[in-house]
């Protein structure tokens, strides 16, 4: 006996299984699979029975919902050609009239229109929810992608990460980033989705012809469903993987184009969507900033290397090179003295040998000092201990260390300031080893008020501080330059016969405020 027919008025009533269908479609949209398809088939069968049918078949095509084809009852296995008493209706949205799919209902006298209206309402509601989830998920993925590229400061690494992230963002099989030179040709081409072996078989990277060149010349986004059919397409080289759809987006910064993103072969659709275009354009804005940050960081690093080379050059010139030059001068008269005064010639050679040994020691200290400041720069206290130990081992000076009084405050200054203090300590100890003829030296780190104080003292012969300062001594100038660069004060306490004390005071108040912010 056929099920009672429920008409269009009942579709709007509580007896029609709309809620059951809504829950089933919602579960399937969130987690497509056999369990959810089974619940969906039961809901579809309930709708068919409610309108007096004995079977139904639905084909849903309403992105971002997954595509679906499902039957129940007499239409479980599909629609037989020429089947009797089967009617079909197009499913369309109530607002924009967009196509949602198709519905077939089997059964003499079944109210197909009522079933279609019910499914249209259900699919439209579930599609709206899925669109909201999809949009939220995409924005979360965009946020994650932009955060990921913003944290990378190496230029090559950030360029590769950009193409890897944008490919996953829109589900593209392949992605590339083309960096263009002033003449409009691609000078760098970074890819994702193609193995290194495939890249090697493709030969040289593209220069900017065909569709790539079109996007470069036009400087605007292109969304192309079929690459081969576009009039500007120049085809693919041998061994190139097949690609159909294309999305090309310029990467802009400060009014200029710094590169172009190319995405090809949308994985789950025939072409890229307007939503794909919008999210890649948003990502491109962040990509441009990340590229610029990485380039600026690279330039800063290069400047830092140049600055350090200049400092090393000053140190070498002021100490070691001058010492070697003095040895050379002392040996110039030795050939004549060998005949006139052999004893003096021998004494000069002995003194030259001793001086060269001291120079070798200075070079060793210099190298070890560089190691200390770079390997231990993150820990000022450990760095000072290491530096002192190296000078004990490689000089005649006994170095005493007292850093406990400033250990806590040392964490309140930045890494750059800690490295600068290590460099200044190395410089002061090097000066003591070269010039002071001291037997003892001390390194002390203390906290006085809002300042961290580093004091390096020796018991050597001392010097006339005013005269040496006026002469522009490179070692002292280096110390003063370093102190000024980090906002510290430098005090020099020295005099003939009473040793030398170098005192550096670094303010910690501002650093402490920064840490608590």
Q: What is the mean pLDDT of residues 495-516?
A: 69
Per-residue pLDDT, 375 = 43
Q: In the predicted model, what is the mean pLDDT of the chain? A: 81
175: in domain: yes
Rounded distance between C-alpha atoms, residue 468 and residue 500, angstroms: 13
368: in domain: no
Domain boundary among the residues 290, 318, 345 is at: 290
Which residue from 415, 405, 412, 402 is spatially nearest to 373, judged by alpha carbons? 415
Rounded distance between C-alpha atoms, residue 513 and residue 42, angstroms: 65
Per-residue pLDDT, 17 = 85
Answer yes or no: do 123 and 160 share one domain: no
Per-residue pLDDT, 454 = 92
Answer yes or no: do 45 and 166 share one domain: no
Q: What is the pLDDT of residues 278-305, one digit of tens each?
A: 999 999 988 888 888 888 877 777 776 7
Which residue from 161, 282, 269, 274 is spatially nearest to 223, judged by alpha carbons? 274
Beta bridge partners of 456: 443, 502
CATH number (domain holding residue 449) = 3.30.565.10
Answer yes or no: do 45 and 163 share one domain: no
CB 181, CB 208: distance < 8 Å:
no
CATH number (domain holding residue 255) = 3.30.450.40
329: in domain: no
Answer yes or no: do 185 and 251 share one domain: yes
CATH number (domain holding residue 108) = 3.30.450
Q: Of 62-76, 115-129, 306-320, which range is least confident? A: 306-320
Per-residue pLDDT, 473 = 54
381: in domain: yes
The proportion of the chain whose per-residue pLDDT surpasses 70, expressed as a percent, equals 86
129: in domain: yes
Answer yes or no: do 273 and 205 share one domain: yes
Q: What is the pLDDT of residues 421-450, one digit of tens each?
A: 888 888 888 778 777 888 899 999 998 877
348: in domain: no
CB 362, CB 395: distance < 8 Å:
no
445: in domain: yes
Q: Of all helices (H) and strands (E), which one includes residue 128?
A: helix 112-150
Q: Which segments within 388-497 are labelled E, that is strand?
A: 398-402, 440-448, 451-458, 489-494
Question: How many CB atoms neighbour CB 324 within 10 A?
Answer: 16
Answer yes or no: do 54 and 179 share one domain: no
Answer yes or no: do 170 and 286 share one domain: yes
Rounded distance between C-alpha atoms, residue 211 and residue 175, angstroms: 14
For residue 235, pLDDT beyond 50: yes
Give the CA count within 13 Å in the CB-facing half-sphere of 53.
Answer: 31
Answer yes or no: do 383 and 510 share one domain: yes
Q: What is the mean pLDDT of residues 371-376?
A: 46
Q: What is the pLDDT of residues 49-104, one digit of tens each?
A: 999 999 999 999 988 888 899 999 999 988 877 667 889 999 998 877 889 999 99
Domain boundary among the residues 290, 325, 340 is at: 290
| Domain span including residue 386 | 375-516
At 340, is the pLDDT very low, low, confident or very high (cuts 50, 70, 90)?
confident
The proportion of the chain whose per-residue pLDDT surpasses 90, expressed as a percent, equals 22
For residue 481, pLDDT beyond 80: yes
| Pair type for strands 440-448 and 398-402 | parallel
Answer yes or no: do 417 and 462 share one domain: yes
* Dihedral in degrees, nearest 10, Cα atoms 310, 315, 318, 323: -130
CB 211, CB 222: distance < 8 Å:
yes
For residue 308, pLDDT beyond 90: no
Rounded distance between C-alpha atoms, residue 325 and residue 426, angstroms: 23
Answer yes or no: do 403 and 511 share one domain: yes
427: in domain: yes
Answer yes or no: do 130 and 195 share one domain: no
Domain boundary among the residues 137, 164, 183 is at: 137
Answer yes or no: do 380 and 285 share one domain: no
**Angle, in degrees to the nearest 10, between helices 415-431 and 274-315:** 10
For residue 419, pLDDT beyond 90: no
Q: Please, what sign has the CA dihedral across residues 48, 50, 51, 52? A: positive
For residue 469, pLDDT beyond 60: no
Rounded distance between C-alpha atoms, residue 107 and residue 48, angstroms: 9
Q: Which residues of 415-454 are buried (b: 16+ CB within 10 A; e: fewer)?
A: eebbbbbbbbbbbbbbbbbbbbebeebbbbbbbeeebbbb
Total domains in the chain come to: 3
Higher pLDDT: 247 or 139? It is 247
Per-residue pLDDT, 319 = 62
Q: What is the mean pLDDT of residues 20-37?
A: 88
For residue 472, pLDDT beyond 70: no
Rounded distance between C-alpha atoms, residue 310 and residue 290, angstroms: 30
At 467, is the pLDDT very low, low, confident or very high (cuts 50, 70, 90)?
low
Higher pLDDT: 405 or 54? It is 54
């Amino acid at each position: 006996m056929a099920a009672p027919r429920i008409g269009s008025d009942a579709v709007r009533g509580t007896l029609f299984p709309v809620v059951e269908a809504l829950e089933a479609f919602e579960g399937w949209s969130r987690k497509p699979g056999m369990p959810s398809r089974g619940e969906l088939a039961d809901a579809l069968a309930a709708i068919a029975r409610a309108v007096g049918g004995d079977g139904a078949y639905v084909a849903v095509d309403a992105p971002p919902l997954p595509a679906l084809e499902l039957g129940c009852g007499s239409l479980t296995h599909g629609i037989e050609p020429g089947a009797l008493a089967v009617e079909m209706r197009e499913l369309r949205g109530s607002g924009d009239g967009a196509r949602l799919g198709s519905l077939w209902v089997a059964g003499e006298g079944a109210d197909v229109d009522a079933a279609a209206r019910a499914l249209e309402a259900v699919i439209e509601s579930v599609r709206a929810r899925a669109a909201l989830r999809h949009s939220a998920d995409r924005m979360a993925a965009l946020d994650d992608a932009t955060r990921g590229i913003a944290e990378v400061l190496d230029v090559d690494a950030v360029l590769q990460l950009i193409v890897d992230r944008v490919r996953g963002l829109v589900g593209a099989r392949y992605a590339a980033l083309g960096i263009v030179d002033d003449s409009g040709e691609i000078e760098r081409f970074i890819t994702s989705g193609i193995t290194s072996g495939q890249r090697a078989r493709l030969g040289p990277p593209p220069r900017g012809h065909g569709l790539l060149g079109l996007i470069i010349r036009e400087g605007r986004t292109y969304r192309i469903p079929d690459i081969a059919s576009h009039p500007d397409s120049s085809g693919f080289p041998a061994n190139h993987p097949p690609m159909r759809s294309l999305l090309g987006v310029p990467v802009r910064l400060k009014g200029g184009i710094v590169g172009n993103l190319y995405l090809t072969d949308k994985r789950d659709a025939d072409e890229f969507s307007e939503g794909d275009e919008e999210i890649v354009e948003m990502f491109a804005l962040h990509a441009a900033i990340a590229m610029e940050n990485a380039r600026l960081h690279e330039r800063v690093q290069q400047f830092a290397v140049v600055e350090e080379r200049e400092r090393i050059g000053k140190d070498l010139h002021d100490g070691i090179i001058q010492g070697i030059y003095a040895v050379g001068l002392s040996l110039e008269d030795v050939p004549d003295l060998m005949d006139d005064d052999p004893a003096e010639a021998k004494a000069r050679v002995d003194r030259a040998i001793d001086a060269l040994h001291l120079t070798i020691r200075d070079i060793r200290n210099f190298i070890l000092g560089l190691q200390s400041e770079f390997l231990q720069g993150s820990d000022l206290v450990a760095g000072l201990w290491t530096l002192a130990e190296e000078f004990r081992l490689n000089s005649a000076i006994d170095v005493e260390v007292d850093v406990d009084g400033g250990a806590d405050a040392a964490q309140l200054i930045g890494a750059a300031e800690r490295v600068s203090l290590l460099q200044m300590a190395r410089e002061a100890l090097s000066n003591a080893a070269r010039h002071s003829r001291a037997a003892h030296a001390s390194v002390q780190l203390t906290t006085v008020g809002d300042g961290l104080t580093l004091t390096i003292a020796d018991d050597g012969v001392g010097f006339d501080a005013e005269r040496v300062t006026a002469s522009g001594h490179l070692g002292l100038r280096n110390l003063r330059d370093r102190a000024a660069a980090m906002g510290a004060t430098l005090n020099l306490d020295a005099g003939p016969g009473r040793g030398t004390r170098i005192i550096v005071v670094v303010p910690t108040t501002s650093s402490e405020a920064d840490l608590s912010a």
